Structure 1
């Protein structure tokens, strides 16, 4: 594991799991194919332009995790709802604890490799019963590579999401869940007395999917700061650069590139961003990017 610090505001971490090709005719056990796994990298920004306090697993109000278990590799992102700041609540605390709890549960083996929505539910339940109340709301997306059957299982609630590219084509992409424009589905723990006034969706509201993956598939898991500012064709052009890539450093460069592009376009007042296009479709005449926290988790499948 290594880190990269750029301009005092960016911290990126790459995670690389080596692939062994060693085999020998003398021992049939060593002829087994290596378990499928993910080679992954992460990069992100807080939407604030000043230097921010750096916390592992967090970019602004966004949070993320990667975890490995003998049965699966798991990636996740969450986006804390910024509106809680007006109530004196740190929006990043809920998303960070949600992802850290998911990571902890995976490492303990307290999850089902075919059911990421159950992992989100268990994490959410632990937050509900935390000794110190952790208040706020968050979207979330979790993907699980099941080693037993080379299948990716996904759960997405809100407008964070994932995209899978194979040979330059999008083979799977998550769907957004919105109550209405710019108001995504979200897991919530409101303060006492506010329950009736706050949108609060249950983990079983998550859209789930599963599909077989192939060696070299590219997986992007990201918060809406990425999808709201980068058109799909730009994302695909970047993702296909790392088709089949098993070098963490090269993967990191593309993760950095995607995060930089999303950040730059988020502050471009003349860019007709995906967010502006969606606003226009909802009767709101606007243009420009959408300043937001940005988290990019990029991975390739190695089988």
Structure 2
């Protein structure tokens, strides 16, 4: 049985093949004086309410896994968001399946935000490998169901890649207020501080039972009377484009 990791790689490979096709179509004689680079930081928390020590590079539980043996089979499901920067043409290529996502901010404005994919409320598209005999009972989407996009980036652009634990608990205005703080930032330490801040806010509001979160707003729109945040996996990957 192929592991879920291999299934995820198919999504990355399909996106990369598209980038390769675009790259080979450009003039090979054209030389760039400088290539864009990404300065990045990561932070995250699990769903557990117990406060965790903040660790640089930590991800939420749903965002990664390890297998004891390299040959181990992995069962389960996951949303996926893949972002690749093509340095040859300064273009960002994205593929997103489910309710994780990517947001890009330029000069204080959101210029790109990935589209969420849901079968129905609180049931996102996802790559899955169900246990044998349960294939018909489990929603299972294919990598080619992902929404793909590409657009040119500029020096100073801010890129946020995050799980639904961020977008379900933080209104876009709060996220934007944090992202503008690192416009054009080239210091990884500063990026880490803002990544930590976004993750902390999302985590704290997820346990606030009185907060009118984006998740509760969407719940109301779907006929569900609820209020408060949504405790969930929280992972933040924050980067800026430096040219």
Deviations 1:115-174 (A, max 9, x none): xxxxxxxxxxxxxxx842210000010100100000000000000000000001000000
- Cα gap change, 1:139 to 1:230, in 2 (>3 Å): same
Determine the structure 2 residue equivalent to 1:266.
206
The question of 1:277 aligning with 2:229 is answered no
Alignment of 1:124-273 (within 5 A): 131-273=71-213
Is this contact kept in 1: 2:83–2:92, CA < 8 A? Answer: yes
Is this contact kept in 1: 2:45–2:52, CA < 8 A? Answer: no
Offset at residue 58 of structure 1 (A):
3.9
4+ aligned runs moved over 6 Å, structure 1: 51-54
Determine the structure 2 residue equivalent to 1:43.
43
Give SS of 2:78's match: strand
The higher-RCO structure (CA 8 Å, 6+ apart) is: 2
User: 1:176 and 1:51 mapped to 2: Cα distance?
Assistant: 29
Determine the structure 1 residue equivalent to 2:226.
286
Deviations 1:221-276 (A, max 9, x none): 00000000000000011001100000001111100100000001000000000000
Is this contact kept in 1: 2:32–2:88, CA < 8 A? Answer: no
User: 1:292 and 1:49 mapped to 2: Cα distance?
Assistant: 10
Determine the structure 2 residue equivalent to 1:33.
33
Offset at residue 185 of structure 1 (A):
0.2
> Size of the alignment, in residue pairs?
210
5+ residue gaps, structure 1: 1-30, 64-92, 98-129
After TM superposition, the score normalised by the length of structure 2 is 0.82
Which protein is richer in strand relative to its size?
1
- Cα gap change, 1:184 to 1:218, in 2 (>3 Å): same
| RMSD (CA atoms) | 2.1
User: 1:138 and 1:57 mapped to 2: Cα distance?
Assistant: 18
Give SS of 2:133's match: coil
Is this contact kept in 1: 2:99–2:164, CA < 8 A? Answer: yes
Deviations 1:189-219 (A, max 9, x none): 1110000100000000000000000000000
Offset at residue 35 of structure 1 (A):
1.7
Offset at residue 59 of structure 1 (A):
1.9
User: 1:223 and 1:32 mapped to 2: Cα distance?
Assistant: 34
Offset at residue 283 of structure 1 (A):
0.4
Give SS of 1:61's match: helix
Give SS of 1:283's match: coil
Offset at residue 47 of structure 1 (A):
1.5
5+ residue gaps, structure 2: 1-30
Give SS of 2:240's match: strand
User: 1:284 and 1:206 mapped to 2: Cα distance?
Assistant: 28
Offset at residue 32 of structure 1 (A):
6.3
